Amino acid sequence: MSPVEIPMEKWTGKVHEVRLGGEGRKSIVVGGETTLPFLHFEGSIPNRVAVAVEVQDKEPADWTASLVSAWGDVLRDSGAWAKKAAEFGADIIALRLRSAHPEEGNTGAAEAKAAVDKVLSAVDLPVIILGPEVAEKDNEVLVAASEVARGQRVALGDCVEKNYRTIAATAIADGHVAITKTPIEINLAKQLNILVSDIGVPVDAILMDPTTGALGYGLEYSYSVMERLRLAALQGDAMTAMPMICTVGEESWRQKEAKVAQGVPASWGDHEQRSLLWEELTALSLINSGADIVVLRHPEAVEVVKATVNRLMSEV
């Protein structure tokens, strides 16, 4: 038999390992790869891709019926919701402080503290806390959340180009992890990681969100930017070597294909299966391009994506 020599890449870089949780809370480590996703034959992939489940601090008014019925009554109570998410297999709870948004209730620090406290007491999983994505409110509620979660090493997000100082400083002060978010662009991602490092966040306390484009809505941009970021990391660029987090559920379920059941072309097929696949295919594609954490919405997607990651982790 003619021998076939497989070309191997000799990467010099390594994705930073970032730990969430601890001190009585379950802890999880993401990152640490020394090769591209799941290429076990040429490098080490010490940590499994983590599945975070999105929990909101108020009942979502705009969720599609199939998503609402999959969760049921717990959507009204973030603590119960987090508990249920843990039962469904969540590795991490991603709490979105949505009620702080000026158009969603404009709640403040006190409500944020209560919501975070509720989730932290309901489950012993590691937690990610996301603001309403309005700079002023992010600063207000994330600082409050950070204080309540002191010692629990949660991830706080998002640090964005125009507003990163307060959140990053809070993460440093309370020993948390900071999430940097940039709009699908490799240089902006790197630059923000540098800025956040410069003010003192250690590299093992940064996750980066390169922004998720859902299937059919810019997925290919996220896919390629993430591949490029990961290649740069493996080539030794420490400022692109942060583990990547993707808000897959949020982006997938906002698209018409996932959201709308009636009045769409018959060729779109069964709504239930189509919407689930929309989330799952977005997740798997981004996992294959380097995601270390995917934030999901549908319980069934959680199960399927976890099972798929396990299959990909088994060495050939």
Site residues (CB under 8 A) for other proteins? Answer: 1-7, 37-41, 183-185, 188, 215-221, 223-224, 227-228, 231, 254, 256-257, 259-260, 263, 265-274, 276-278, 280-281, 284-285, 288-289, 304, 307-308, 311-316
In the bound state with other proteins, the residue whose beta carbon lies nearer, of 69 and 267, is 267
Q: How open is the CA angle 59-308-122, to the nearest 5 degrees?
A: 35
In eight-state DSSP terms, residue 172 is H
Quote the least distance from Cβ 306 to other proteins, whole Å: 12
In degrees rounded to 5, what are phi and psi of residue 144?
-65, -45
Give DSSP secondary structure letters for 217-268. Answer: BBHHHHHHHHHHHHHHHHTT-GGG-S-EEE-HHHHHHTSHHHH--SSS-GGG
Quote the least distance from Cβ 221 to other proteins, whole Å: 8
Quote the least distance from Cβ 147 to other proteins, whole Å: 31
In the bound state with other proteins, the residue whose beta carbon lies nearer, of 64 and 197, is 64
The tokens describing 90, both together, are 């969540």
In the bound state with other proteins, the residue whose beta carbon lies nearer, of 12 and 316, is 316
Quote the least distance from Cβ 215 to other proteins, whole Å: 6
> How remote is the C-alpha of 28 from its chain's centroid?
13
Q: How open is the CA angle 152-46-248, to the nearest 5 degrees?
A: 65
In the bound state with other proteins, the residue whose beta carbon lies nearer, of 89 and 108, is 89
Quote the least distance from Cβ 96 to other proteins, whole Å: 16
In the bound state with other proteins, the residue whose beta carbon lies nearer, of 194 and 313, is 313
Quote the least distance from Cβ 261 to other proteins, whole Å: 11
In the bound state with other proteins, the residue whose beta carbon lies nearer, of 88 and 223, is 223
Q: For the chain, first and last CA: distance in Å? A: 21
In the bound state with other proteins, the residue whose beta carbon lies nearer, of 125 and 304, is 304
Quote the least distance from Cβ 312 to other proteins, whole Å: 5
The tokens describing 203, both together, are 């590299």
The tokens describing 56, both together, are 């909101």
3-state secondary structure of 269: coil
Number of C-beta neighbours around residue 134 at 10 A: 17
